[in-house]
């Protein structure tokens, strides 16, 4: 019963805050711009709340990472190629609310008295001897609704504007000059798109992707065996769409250009974690945010790489910094923030496993990059290690959406018939126990089975168009079956 009372009390407090000059509401996320446009440069989030008393709270605020443009070259790492993590935004690391007095702690400490009326004054920044005075109050329109606004003038000649409904409307102090352009929660002004909005297609839309994946390559007849990257093209056309509260199910037709050769066997080792729409295309919100965390990030947030991450070295923990932008067509886009200058390359990852100094990390020479666009989807994602053949890459190279050709599709010799005929019928049963049966195979081809770590566990030369392969020696689990000219398929062994 006590828990229910506390929840009701917290809900009542948050509701009241939204109407009573509250500078922060834990249920809201505040979007700011620092250039006078609709581009979100900062988002203020309350990450944690501690109750200190009846009308006293401590709010932990979200931090960001910034590129250190002024850092000199250190240890072979180029000048300006460093990242500082855990940095405060313009409101600092945390805020303590004591009634209507809001204390912000960061590089310095300052206090805003939200209840102060016209002509009221108080000490804003004691350490720097700065006072604050409310010099104007008016009723205006904010995000399409009437609101009361107050302007605070500091003795340093800086200004802050408060909103009765949404907290800090404008914050112009020293080098920080930002304006509130949207609030997540009530959904007013400029807000982030729903993750599903990035993959919002209609029947007739057509997308073409260029994919680079890693393969284990065997030259038949006793030739070379090695790991290398290989290019694949695939195209998807949306044929139908079904919406649900948590996702979108697309019906698709598709074409595929998969590596095949009469003299070479290709076994897939690693590929971008991006679903090829063999039997439809399922876009689910929770799965998108899990595999594509960039789409739920705020500017400056540090996140793990995704989709194309191919780093397993324990000495290298690749991270990146989220960047929000507006495309020329007005759509929202999310990217990785570049770190330093790299002619001909775009390097966005830094090594979180080691520090040059406390909170300072060097960029990693691997090419880590990503780009998503609202209504278009994944534009590009890559992970390419330096001086190796390990390269995972996916890029949208053709897009016809809503009847408009956004990216002219490249001409390609699509092998639609073979790909479609062989998918779903060439390997069975799955789950399997002691054997699998292959159909429509080319005699002389090589069947390869790899585990989910890319380790080759079985190979067999095909002697007929219908081939039986014993798998009784393999442990239960999930495997990938590859045969020359046939798209890799998942195999489950269960006993």
Alpha-carbon span 218 to 269, nearest angstrom:
13
Number of alpha carbons in the 13 Å side-chain half-sphere of residue 53: 6
Instruction: Outline where DSSP puts E strands in 271-354.
Output: 281-284, 302-304, 318-326, 332-336, 349-351
Mean per-residue pLDDT over the chain, rounded: 84
Class of the domain covering 424-493: mainly beta
Give the residue carrying structure tokens 């780009």.
371
Where along the chain do its domains lie?
A: 2-71+84-189, 195-347+364-407, 424-493
Alpha-carbon span 273 to 288, nearest angstrom:
11
Q: C-alpha distances in angstroms, 291 versus 234, 288, 295, 344?
A: 21, 5, 10, 28
For residue 180, give every residue at least 6 positions away whose Cβ sits within 8 Å of its Cβ, in sequence order, or none. Answer: 30, 31, 32, 163, 166, 167, 168, 169, 170, 189
pLDDT tens for residues 321-337? 999 999 998 999 999 99
pTM of the complete model: 0.79
Alpha-carbon span 266 to 225, nearest angstrom:
10
For residue 225, give every residue at least 6 positions away whose Cβ sits within 8 Å of its Cβ, in sequence order, or none. Answer: 216, 217, 218, 219
Per-residue pLDDT, 484: 63
Give the residue carrying structure tokens 């000199």.
72
pLDDT tens string, the chain, 495 residues long: the values are: 444 434 344 444 444 444 589 999 999 999 999 999 999 999 999 999 999 999 999 999 999 999 998 899 888 788 889 999 999 999 999 999 999 999 999 989 999 999 999 999 999 999 999 999 999 999 999 999 999 999 999 999 999 999 999 999 999 998 889 999 999 999 999 999 999 999 999 999 999 998 888 777 777 766 777 777 778 888 889 999 999 999 999 998 888 776 666 677 777 777 787 776 766 889 999 988 988 899 999 999 999 877 765 544 444 567 899 999 999 989 999 999 999 876 666 788 888 877 888 999 998 877 888 999 999 999 998 887 766 666 788 999 999 999 999 999 877 655 443 333 333 336 778 788 899 988 767 677 788 887 766 678 888 888 887 888 999 999 988 787 877 645 567 788 888
pLDDT tens for residues 447-466? 888 776 667 888 888 888 78
Q: Which of 57, 50, 48, 53 is nearest to 17 (CA)?
A: 57
State the distance between the two ends of the chain, measured CA to CA, in whole angstroms.
Answer: 49
pLDDT tens for residues 408-417? 987 765 544 3
pLDDT tens for residues 347-383? 888 888 778 889 999 988 778 889 999 999 999 988 8
User: CB–CB of 16/100 below 8 Å?
Assistant: no
Q: Can you say how many angstroms the Cα of residue 405 is from the centroid of all Cα atoms in its chain? A: 26
């Amino acid at each position: 019963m006590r828990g229910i009372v506390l929840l009701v009390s917290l809900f009542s407090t948050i509701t009241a805050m939204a109407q009573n000059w509250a500078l922060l509401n834990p249920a809201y996320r505040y979007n700011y711009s620092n250039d006078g446009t609709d581009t979100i440069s900062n988002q203020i989030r309350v990450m944690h709340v501690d109750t200190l008393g009846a009308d006293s709270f401590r709010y932990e605020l979200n931090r960001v990472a910034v590129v250190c443009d002024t850092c000199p070259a250190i240890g072979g790492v180029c000048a300006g190629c460093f990242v500082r993590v855990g940095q405060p935004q313009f409101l600092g690391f945390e805020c303590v609310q004591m009634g209507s007095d809001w204390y912000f702690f960061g590089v310095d400490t300052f206090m805003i008295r939200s209840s102060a009326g016209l002509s009221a004054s108080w000490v804003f920044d004691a350490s720097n001897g700065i006072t604050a005075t409310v010099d104007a109050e008016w009723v205006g329109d904010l995000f399409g609704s009437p609101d009361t606004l107050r302007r605070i003038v500091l003795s340093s000649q800086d200004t802050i504007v408060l909103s009765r409904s949404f907290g800090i409307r404008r914050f112009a102090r020293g080098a920080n000059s930002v304006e509130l352009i949207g609030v997540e929660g009530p959904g007013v002004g400029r807000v982030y798109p729903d993750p599903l909005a990035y993959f919002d297609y209609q029947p007739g839309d057509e997308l073409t992707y260029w994919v680079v994946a890693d393969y284990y390559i065997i030259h038949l007849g006793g030739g070379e065996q090695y790991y290398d990257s290989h290019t694949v093209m695939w195209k998807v056309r949306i044929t139908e769409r079904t919406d649900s509260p948590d996702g979108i199910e697309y019906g698709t037709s598709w074409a595929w250009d998969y590596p095949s050769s009469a003299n070479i066997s290709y076994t897939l080792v690693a590929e971008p974690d991006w679903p090829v729409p063999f039997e439809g295309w399922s876009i689910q919100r929770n799965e998108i945010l899990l595999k594509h965390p960039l789409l739920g990030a705020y500017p400056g947030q540090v996140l793990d790489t995704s989709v194309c991450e191919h780093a397993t070295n324990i000495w290298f923990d690749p991270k990146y910094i989220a960047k929000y932008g507006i495309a020329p067509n007005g759509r929202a886009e999310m990217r990785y923030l570049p770190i330093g200058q790299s002619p001909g390359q775009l390097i966005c990852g830094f090594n979180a496993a080691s520090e040059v100094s406390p909170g300072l990390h060097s960029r990693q020479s691997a090419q880590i990059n990503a780009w998503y666009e609202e209504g278009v989807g994944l534009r590009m994602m890559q992970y390419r290690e330096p001086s190796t053949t390990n390269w995972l890459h996916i890029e949208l190279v053709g897009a016809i959406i809503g009847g408009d050709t956004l990216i002219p599709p490249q001409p390609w010799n699509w092998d639609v018939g073979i790909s479609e005929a062989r998918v779903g019928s060439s390997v069975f049963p799955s789950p399997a126990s002691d054997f699998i049966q292959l159909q429509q195979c080319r005699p002389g081809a090589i069947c390869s089975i790899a585990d989910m770590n890319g380790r080759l566990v079985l190979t067999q030369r095909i002697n007929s168009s219908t081939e039986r392969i014993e798998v009784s020696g393999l442990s239960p689990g999930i495997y990938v079956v590859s045969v020359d000219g046939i798209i890799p398929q998942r195999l489950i062994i269960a006993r």
